Amino acid sequence: MSNIYLEEIDSTNRYAKLNLDKLEDKTIVHAARQTSGHGRLQRAWLDPGGDNLFLTFVLKPSSSFSNIFSNITQYLSVKLCMLLEEYGLEPQIKWPNDVLLNGRKVAGILSETVMLGNTFKGLVLGIGVNLNAAPEALECIDKPAAALNLECGHDIVLSSFRDRLVETFFADYDNFLNTGFKSIRDYYLKHACFLNKEICVRLFNENKSGIAKSVTEDGELVLVSDNKEVVLTIGDIL
């Protein structure tokens, strides 16, 4: 396992993708500042200033793509929640992988699959966590946002948080690769904030409303809409 530390980069995910061939499995790319972070569904991920986490896991688990890899963001959201509980917090998960504190998003997770033609090269799994931010900086973010320092009432030591996150992530990683979403489903459901609620999900080019009924064994969202069950694999709860 090797670590790459960058003072400033446009995006740790982009850096990892560009350098994927040179980076070995389980490399961590960590940047102090990120100038052009990106998120799911073409969103931007803003650096609110202060010591926040911008980190990408470079993962090369096999030479071919497995459907289990689609759940890696949910796996990371669970591992992050476990760490936040160590800080005395009560995190919740919004499907598929947003982590919330008191209803506000504290972290964003983005996995990108790298292919060369039909060949699977690896995954870059990025995470941004607001660790130390001023309230005014959070107000510049388009959705309600949280930061750990404001929830805990004290500054957060970035290096300790990062090291513990990496440790927690790899502790059950092999088990996750063998078992998939099933290995985290119980914990995920206990921390889900959206179940049995009327929600609206943004899909690529439409919105779908309904009651969030459950999450399947494969991590998909089951929505009851117009008395019909719809199973969603990708989307964003609005």
- Contacts to ligand BTN by CB under 6 A: 11-13, 37-40, 43, 45, 54, 56, 108-110, 126-128
Q: Using the structure block, give the residue that is written with the tokens 């206990």.
A: 190
Question: Where would I find the H helices in 19-140?
Answer: 72-86, 135-139
- When the beta carbons of 43 and 213 are compared against ligand BTN, the nearer one is 43
Q: How far is the CB of 179 from ligand BTN (least distance, A)?
A: 25
Q: How far is the CB of 178 from ligand BTN (least distance, A)?
A: 26
The 228-232 sheet, strands edge to edge:
228-232, 221-225, 207-215, 198-202, 236-237
- When the beta carbons of 84 and 127 are compared against ligand BTN, the nearer one is 127
- When the beta carbons of 40 and 162 are compared against ligand BTN, the nearer one is 40
- When the beta carbons of 75 and 119 are compared against ligand BTN, the nearer one is 75
Crossing angle of the two packed helices 72-86 and 158-171, in degrees rounded to 10: 130
Q: How far is the CB of 149 from ligand BTN (least distance, A)?
A: 18
Q: How far apart are the first and last CA of the chain?
A: 37
Q: How far is the CB of 132 from ligand BTN (least distance, A)?
A: 15
- When the beta carbons of 63 and 205 are compared against ligand BTN, the nearer one is 205
Q: Which residues lie below 8 Å from residue 150, measured CB to CB, with a gap of 6+?
A: 133, 135, 138
Rounded to an integer, what distance in angstroms lies between the CA atom of residue 13 and that of residue 189? Answer: 28
Q: How far is the CB of 53 from ligand BTN (least distance, A)?
A: 8
